[in-house]
Amino acid sequence: MASGHLTSPDLPEDAAITFDPLRPRLVRVAYRMLGSVADAEDVVQEAFIRWMGADRASVREPEAFLRRTVTRLCLDLLKSARMQRESYVGPWLPEPMIEDEDEDEDVTLPLMLALERLSPLERAAFLLHDVFGVSFEEIAVTIDRDPAACRQLAARARGHVRAERPRFNVEKQRGLEIAGAFFAASRTGDMSALGALLAADVSMHADGGGKRSAAVAEVLGLRNVLQFHKALAVLFRKHGSQLVRTVMINGLPGFVTREADGELQTTALEIEGDRIVAIYVMRNPDKLRHLH
């Protein structure tokens, strides 16, 4: 039976009545596939254009149809993105997504980085099934594989990303308190307070994309991370670093700052117990535009 609430398949406003409530969920699918807010929004807009041109009266399940369209567009984009990623300057991080207060992120930043190591089809099968609860039968139609192959793709992906699932979920408010303490200690140069917040095997990952200064390789281990922040603290004292707000970023506690050059920056902290095990700093202005 066709969708009865679409009175005239030719009118864009009728297409929007069905599409608009689904848009946020479709953007979530696309963002998790691509790691880019701008690309996700472009893909969803392209899906809307295709939806307007489709024989909508014959579509039984608009959400499934649109999810398929978005996923296929993402798979096409991922092929070219992989080539661009190879020439990226320094560490690559996904664009930061700031969460609403009542939101709970199911795909954290470390998990998104683990997804980067998967093939596009593994990524699609894992996200659609494990995160969005889509059946393997629908995934099979979406990626043009049989259900058994889709099960295998998701299982393989699961094996790769299992280690990146949060092991010790820090309570949100406690995480934001640690983020505030990290901001204060790192900006004032209080190395004793900073050292007390960090795990022995802490790592720091900064994405400047070649557009702003950032460490061109990961900084590994407590001693190196402290040395790095000691040097940064001299710059912060000289030029300032203004806290905009502490906030959840891609499922991790962190903060948004305005730096001396007037640009925004995000810092997300992976915390186990009460210790910071990884620091993710986004400085690439292209990936921060949506926060302005």
pLDDT tens, residue by residue, 223-242:
999 999 999 998 888 888 99
* pLDDT tops 80 at residue 18: yes
Whose tokens are 């190196």? That residue is 224
What is the mean pLDDT of the segment spanning 121-135? 95
* pLDDT tops 50 at residue 4: no
Other residues' Cβ atoms within 10 Å of the Cβ of residue 165? 12
Q: How confident is the model at residue 79 (pLDDT cuts 50, 70, 90)?
A: confident
User: Which overall architecture, per CATH, does domain 109-165 show?
Assistant: Orthogonal Bundle (1.10)
- The long-range contacts involving 222-231, CB below 8 angstroms and separated by at least 24 positions, are 222/195, 222/198, 225/198, 225/279, 226/191, 226/194, 226/195, 226/198, 228/204, 229/186, 229/189, 229/191, 229/194, 230/189, 230/191
Backbone φ and ψ for 75, nearest 5 degrees, come out as -60, -40
Q: How confident is the model at residue 67 (pLDDT cuts 50, 70, 90)?
A: very high
Cβ pair 168, 199 in contact under 8 A: no
* pLDDT tops 90 at residue 6: no
Task: Output the CA–CA distances (angstroms, integers) from residue 36 to 114, 219, 273, in the order listed.
Answer: 15, 24, 30
Q: Which two tokens stand for residue 267?
A: 């810092």
129-139 b/e (C-beta count within 10 Å ≥ 16 → b): beeeebebebb
Cβ pair 183, 194 in contact under 8 A: no
Query: pLDDT (tens digit, 9 = 90+) per residue, 144-195?
Result: 999 999 999 999 999 988 766 655 568 899 999 999 999 999 999 999 999 9
Given the candidates 3.10.450.50, 3.40.630.30, 3.40.50.720, 3.40.50.970, the CATH classification of the domain at 172-291 is 3.10.450.50
**pTM here?**
0.88
pLDDT of residue 238: 84
Percent of the chain with pLDDT over 90: 71
* pLDDT tops 60 at residue 216: yes
Tell me the angle at which helices 62-86 and 37-53 cross, rounded to the nearest 10 degrees.
Answer: 140
- Coil/strand/helix, residue 119: coil
